[in-house]
A and B are shown apart, each in its own frame.
Chain A
Amino acid sequence: DQQVKQNSPSLSVQEGRISILNCDYTNSMFDYFLWYKKYPAEGPTFLISISSIKDKNEDGRFTVFLNKSAKHLSLHIVPSQPGDSAVYFCAASPYGNKLVFGAGTILRVKS
């Protein structure tokens, strides 16, 4: 049973527009959520995170929103750039513990 779900396997967006990647989770013990970005033939790299006591965290073009009641989080990229084309993994954990990853969403930003 997947505790972290990314229901969209892929997303295609025009350069300059907003990209919205979604993630749902089932375990109410999760209190820490992260997004990782992965290019082909490379390991995942940390992008942005949010604690369960917050509902929003912003870092430049990247913003993560958390809706605890819906057990849903989303990553917004504004504006999207061709270099953002990658696989994005959502991950969750109780802080300091093991991470549980979603299946990933392939983002393609078209120029």
Chain B
Amino acid sequence: NAGVTQTPKFQVLKTGQSMTLQCAQDMNHNSMYWYRQDPGMGLRLIYYSASEGTTDKGEVPNGYNVSRLNKREFSLRLESAAPSQTSVYFCASRDRAANPLTDTQYFGPGTRLTVL
């Protein structure tokens, strides 16, 4: 059981280049999320998918697109990378639990992206 996996682990892009960050989970969760983490800002939600076939914007969606390819996979695409998108990106998944106290999101190890 790998949990949530993300590829790549590191990436350096030049301004204007495009790339796709991949995320997969093997826990049969319905909901998946993409966050970015910046110093002093915590984790901010970029996009999420409450279930297969649906996606919605989060707090900071500009400059990103997402695809919920199937129940397992949720990708994040940067069409034209900018230096302001230099960040650590985390994918997470969740399935609604009967007990609210155990209803939590499970995170991948992150992708460290630098845009020059």
Tell me the A residues contacting B by CB distance below 8 Å: 4, 6, 9, 32, 34, 36, 41-46, 49-51, 57, 89, 95-96, 98-99, 101-104
Tell me the B residues contacting A by CB distance below 8 Å: 4, 33, 35, 40-45, 48, 58, 90, 92, 96, 100-110
Are B96 and A103 interface neighbours, CB within 8 A?
Answer: no
A42→B35 CA distance, assembly (Å): 14
- Given known A96-B96, A98-B48, contact A46–B43 (CB-CB < 8 A): no
A36-B107, A101-B43 are known contacts; what are 14 more A-B pairs with Cβ within 8 Å? A32-B103, A34-B104, A43-B90, A44-B43, A45-B107, A49-B100, A49-B102, A95-B100, A95-B103, A98-B48, A98-B58, A99-B45, A99-B105, A103-B42
**Residue A51 contacts which of B41, B45, B101, B108 (CB distance < 8 angstroms)?**
B101
A50→B102 CA distance, assembly (Å): 10
Q: Can you sample 17 A-B contacts with CB below 8 Å?
A: A4-B42, A34-B104, A42-B110, A43-B4, A43-B92, A43-B108, A43-B110, A46-B104, A50-B101, A89-B43, A95-B100, A98-B33, A98-B45, A101-B43, A101-B44, A103-B41, A103-B42
